[in-house]
Amino acid sequence: MAVVDIYVNDDTEKGKLAQAAKCHGNKVVTIVQTFETGASDSANSVYRVFPDLNPCLIPVDIKILNDVIGASTNDVDLGLYCGDKGAVIDKDCLYDGLDLHTGHTTTPANGLAAVDPADRCKQLYELAGHTLANRKDTYDIAITVNTAPSAAGTVTVIGTFVQG
């Protein structure tokens, strides 16, 4: 077995300028949003919790807390939409199939559960499947309700991002 002594960042290892967020650190942005679901909201409702985000932000932690929201609110997704109330890009790329009906009051749900560990340092535009050439100006992170809520409830989403 060989002993290795390397920089795990490829750019740093090659002596190139590396992205600050991935080597030396960069500014952290935290966003907190609380909203109410309505008992009359229908399936496929979209709650844009973090609108018009910079495409270069790297999501490092998203927590979802909620009170009990009726028995039928058991299939909720967290994903990316084009900014400014634009079209869906991938409605469940961050979390697929969150169950809100039992409540998450003391232990938050991990809003990045659908993101592969190898993709955890990707910027929003990369998580959306875009490149620098075709990235959007802004992105919305939204909760999409796949089954209609049977009761009103409170949801709080806390997102922590590093500027990429």
Burial of 10 (0-12, 13-18, 19+ CB in 10 A): exposed
In this predicted model, which residue has the larger pLDDT, 65 or 69?
65
> Is residue 66 exposed (0-12), middle (13-18) or buried (19+ Cβ within 10 Å)?
buried
> What's the gap between Cα 155 and its chain centre?
15
Which percentage of the chain shows pLDDT scores above 90?
65
Q: pLDDT class for 29, splitting at 50, 70, 90?
A: very high
Mean pLDDT value across residues 22-48: 90
Per the model's pLDDT, the better-predicted residue between 70 and 82 turns out to be 82
Please say if the pLDDT value at position 149 is more than 90.
no
Band of the pLDDT at 71, cuts 50, 70, 90? low
3-state class (DSSP) for residue 56? coil
Is residue 74 scored above 90 in pLDDT?
Answer: no
For 156, the token pair is 């709080």
For the segment 131-147, what is each residue's pLDDT rounded down to a tens digit?
Answer: 999 999 999 999 999 98
pLDDT at 72: 62
CA 97 to chain centre: 14
SS3 136: coil
* pLDDT for 73 beyond 70: no
Rounded to 5 degrees, what are φ and ψ at 40? -95, 0
Task: Please tell me the distance from the alpha carbon of residue 120 to that of residue 101, in angstroms, as a whole number.
Answer: 28
Cα–Cα distance, 160 to 43 (Å, whole number)? 28
